[in-house]
A and B are shown apart, each in its own frame.
Chain A
Amino acid sequence: GAGVSQTPSNKVTEKGKYVELRCDPISGHTALYWYRQSLGQGPEFLIYFQGTGAADDSGLPNDRFFAVRPEGSVSTLKIQRTERGDSAVYLCASSFTTNSPLHFGNGTRLTVT
C-alpha cells in the first residue's frame, strides 16, 4: 500500500513568508507525527496527533509554528514569518496506534533564503 506522502518535496521561500507543508498518512493510522531534521543531525520531535487533537506539541520551537489535523487524517504544518534558521527537512510519520512503529515519509526540504 501507499506510504506516508509529503508535499511539496521541496519548498524555497523568502525570509518572512508563510509556508504550509502537507502530510498524508497511511490510511487507517490514527497517530501522526512531525519531526524536523537539520543537515547532519537526527530528527527532532515537533508535535504528534492522536486523531484530530494535538496530544503533545512540546517540540514546537516557538509560536510561529502551528500544525493542524482537522479530520484526523491529513495534517498541515504551518510556519509563519519564516527565518533562515527554519531551513531543514520536515518529516512526517504515522502509526496505527501510538504503541505501533512509526512510518516516515520522505520529507519536505524547506529552504528559507
Chain B
Amino acid sequence: QQQVKQSPQSLIVQKGGISIINCAYENTAFDYFPWYQQFPGKGPALLIAIRPDVSEKKEGRFTISFNKSAKQFSLHIMDSQPGDSATYFCAASTGGSARQLTFGSGTQLTVLP
C-alpha cells in the first residue's frame, strides 16, 4: 500500500521559474515530512523538513507548504536553476524523527537553461 503519493512524475521548468511538487499521505500518525534531492549515482540528500505544527517552512529558495487537514504537503523551488535538475522525493515518518521513512515515488525535475 502506497502511503505517500507524489506528483508529478516528471516536471520541466524554465530557468527562473517556480517548480512545484506535491505529496499526499494517508497515515495520520505521520508527523515528520522531509524532502530529499537525489542526483544520478548519488544517495538522497536532505533539503528541508517540516513538522505538522507549522504550515510553511522556508530555507533559501526552497519552501515546504503543509496542509494537515488535507493531508498534503508540497515543495516549491523558487528561481529554479539548471543545477536544481535532479530527482526529488518527499517522505514521511512517525515519532517526530526520521527513523523509518516512507518515501514517495519521486519527481524528476529538469530545469531548462
Residues of chain A having any CB pair with chain B under 8 Å? 4, 31, 33, 35, 40-45, 48, 55-56, 58-59, 91, 93, 95, 98-107
Contacts and interface: CB of A to CB of B under 8 A. Distances in A.
Interface of B: 4, 6, 34, 41-46, 49, 89, 91, 96-106
Contact of B105 (A42, A48, A58, A104): A42
A107 B43 contact: yes
Nearest to A3: B43
B43 A44 contact: no
Given A41-B105, A41-B106, A106 B100 contact: no
A48 B100 contact: yes
Given A41-B106, A42-B89, A105 B43 contact: yes
B45 to A, nearest CB: 7
